[in-house]
Amino acid sequence: MAGTSAKTVHDIFQNMEYGPSSTSTATAQSWLEKHSRILGFFIDGKFSSPADRQTQDVTDSKAAVVCSTVCAKDEDVASAASSAAGGFKTWSELSCYQRAKVLLKLASVLQRHSQCVSELCELSQSSVSPAVLIRLAQYYASWAQLRDTLMPEWIPQGVVAVVVSDDCSIYFLLLKVLPALAMGNAVIVVPGKTTALPALLLAQLFMEAGIPAGVLNVVTGSEASLGAKVAQNPQVNYLTYSGRQQTGEALAKAVAGWGVPMSFSLSLSSVCPFIIFDSADLDSAVDGVIELAFKKKRDFQWVLCVQESVLDIVVARLKLRMNGMKCVPLATEADRNLIDAAVQEAQQQGATLIQSCPPGTGALYPPTVLCGLAPSCESVMSPPPGPVLPLISFRSSAEGVTLGNHSPHGQAASIWTEDLTLALESAKSLCVGSVWVNCHSVMDPALPLCGRRESGNCTDGGREGLYQFLRLSHSPSLPHSSPSPINYADFGSAASKFMIPEGFDPSSVPRFYSQFVGGQLRKADSGCSKSVLAPGGAVLAQCPDGGRKDVRNAVEAAIKVQPGWMKKSPVARSQSLYSLADGLDKRRRDLAVSIQTQTGISLEEAEKEVQLSISGLSDWAARCDKEQGGTPVLQASDIPGGLVSIITGGRDQLTQALANHSVIQSIWYWGSKEGCQFLQYSCVSPLKRLWLHCEEEEEEREAGQNWTSSNPSLQEELWRKAVVWKSIWIPTA
């Protein structure tokens, strides 16, 4: 018919454009229209939209404005925190069955409103299948039911602040929110731009499922500054973040010193290896690359690593598969400048390009592979945004694993091989939290996502992911207070000052200028010492005043010995600990006298402390082959040299050295409030797992950890603080 605009079937297949949905737009649009396209906060079980607040636009994939969200002020944060505190009291007093019933009903509500949820996620560029969200709700409903049965000694943290960056997906947001709720916490959500609309809709659906008012609150605004304001509220007990590293760093530094424990999942900044060995099914591997690398939105950044013996074949098949692929829309026009600069720099360094078509202009870019890059190239260390995939080659399988560990991140890896032995050995050797064998991006709430190194310091998903939202009933918490005035650049650098008693004769005191590093006594690099004083002020001895170089030596020794210790069988590790306990037992009298001399306690109390140490070592030796997942007395045991190092010196000075060392993954700290604040501020870059105890506040409140207790829950807490988790996915027929 003349003048018609209808497209033929041939035109549709040539363009492959998405057609309009007959019902979904009306469903999502009607919900937006109901709120006049201005979404306020969700506080105390209802929407609130104050008239004097600034707003920010939410746009779709074509940069068209979908609606606006209101930016919260301080009084809105205070209102949300107060509502959450009241909601926590009501929610935590419910039985496990009642909380599980709400989450199970949520699954049904999500099923009923799945079309609206899906469309709203699509509009806000945070696409996710409603079936995935339903599976999450069902999974955590089960854990809500089992909490008191399987975790009787653990209690909820209280009010939890969940903050995500602008481009974080709704799946990763709910991977924080649902376990927090299942364990009995109240939650304040600070969503990013792409998750604001789905988060507000889900809050409404939670109310429909029967959750008490105040248990789930959503406040919108700038995620970093608003998240900091929420965490600084004295009624908030815990902060967890998911998203990009830059936003996480700003959040950590703003919250440091407020007495709020923090955890970070930095998956969106993670660079992950996609490793193709010569024993792989190359067609399937190339299909995986195409599916993974050239999507508009990716959860991780990827680097393609190909064994040299099959490099030419893989490159040829990539060219064939990429031929004619459409350009991919970029998130923002600014990304185009980043891509152009990265491609130009790579070409200057000798890289060749594989592109589906010549690049045009604007916020579109063709799928591109950068071939022939060196591992040190900027595009490999920090790949540009958009559909650009760096490719590097390796000679041997061992070199492939080394390249896989080359990145400072450790979120995930995908390895492709039909050799099961090679797959398992590579998966074990890669320093990442998730390994997919002959597949990629498979997610299930039952298995943990545990970022390593710069990818995170907490575990999400699975039973292991629940414990970040719990604490032992007898475990002390950090004190809520305002930050201390600290010069972070100079922390720990001031020279130590020691009081020397009048009439002190240096020749009367033995001098020990040695540290216990690498399994032997070594002279301290500083060459300085500090006095060990008896309770009465008498100088008992001199010990080294260790510093940064001593920490470096200890870390180097640990790096050498840790892989071998990890590969030892649990029985062998158990026998080493039994040997250490036996060495302590043989010298128990000497140790008790030394403790009495230094502390002034009675000999009987000192002997009890030694006995507790021997019993503790024996307990851990006994657990060593049950829990699957690692001084001259140390020299006498068969503990490998370097596995344990002892460095003496000024606490702040050593704290500063430990915090700034990029290889150290975790710090357990007992010390001052200022030390806790410094570690929270500094240990987000490089990222570390922290377990902080403020001794000054604990002594005032008499709430310190009872280390003499034989309660199994204390050992479980220590064990959980000492392990990280790895999930390995192996497809089955």
Taking only the tens place, the pLDDT of each residue in 609-666 is 899 889 888 888 888 766 654 344 744 456 788 888 888 888 899 999 999 998 899 9
Q: What is the DSSP letter of 325?
A: P
CA-based torsion, 117, 172, 217, 255: positive or negative? negative
Q: What is the pLDDT of residue 1?
A: 40
Q: What is the pLDDT of residue 133?
A: 93
**Mean pLDDT, to the nearest integer, of 377-403?**
91
Sheet containing 412-416, strands listed edge to edge, beginning at the edge strand earlier in sequence: 352-355, 368-371, 388-394, 301-307, 271-276, 412-416, 434-437, 727-729
> pTM score, two decimals?
0.86
Residue pair 365/386 in contact by the 8 Å Cβ criterion = yes
Whether the ω angle into residue 686 lies within 30 degrees of 0, i.e. cis, is: yes
- In the predicted model, what is the mean pLDDT of the chain? 85
Pick the residue with more confidence: 474 or 74? Answer: 74
pLDDT digits (tens, 9 = 90+) for 312-353: 999 999 999 988 888 888 877 788 888 889 888 988 888 899
Residue 38 phi/psi, 5° resolution?
A: -130, 105
Lowest mean pLDDT among 50-64, 76-90, 133-147: 50-64
pLDDT digits (tens, 9 = 90+) for 579-593: 989 988 999 999 999
pLDDT digits (tens, 9 = 90+) for 103-132: 999 999 999 998 899 888 888 877 788 999
Q: Does pLDDT of 421 surpass 80?
A: yes
Q: Does pLDDT of 12 surpass 70?
A: no
The amino acid sitting at 2 is A
The CA distance from 565 to 572, in Å, is: 9
Q: What is the pLDDT of residue 696?
A: 65
**Mean pLDDT, to the nearest integer, of 496-522?**
60
pLDDT digits (tens, 9 = 90+) for 441-457: 888 899 899 988 888 89
Q: What is the pLDDT of residue 23?
A: 36
Q: What is the pLDDT of residue 303?
A: 92
Q: Does pLDDT of 527 surpass 80?
A: no
Pick the residue with more confidence: 108 or 732? Answer: 108
CA-based torsion, 240, 245, 251, 252: positive or negative? positive
Residue pair 685/558 in contact by the 8 Å Cβ criterion = no
Residue 9 pLDDT class (50, 70, 90 cuts): low
Lowest mean pLDDT among 136-145, 553-562, 595-604, 634-643: 634-643
Lowest mean pLDDT among 88-102, 329-343, 708-722: 708-722
- C-alpha distances (whole Å) from 224 to each of 53, 202, 253 are 18, 22, 10
Q: What is the pLDDT of residue 699?
A: 53
**3-state SS string for 269-290:** HCEEEEEECCCCCHHHHHHHHH
Lowest mean pLDDT among 158-167, 277-286, 612-621, 699-708: 699-708
The amino acid sitting at 501 is P
Q: What is the pLDDT of residue 643?
A: 85
- For 545, residues 6+ apart whose C-beta sits below 8 A from its C-beta are 496, 524, 526, 528, 529, 530, 648, 649, 650, 653
Q: Does pLDDT of 30 surpass 90?
A: no
Q: What is the pLDDT of residue 495?
A: 46
Q: What is the pLDDT of residue 189?
A: 95
Percent of the chain whose pLDDT exceeds 90: 39
Q: What is the pLDDT of residue 25?
A: 41
Q: What is the pLDDT of residue 62?
A: 74
- For 43, residues 6+ apart whose C-beta sits below 8 A from its C-beta are 76, 79, 80, 83, 214, 217, 218, 219
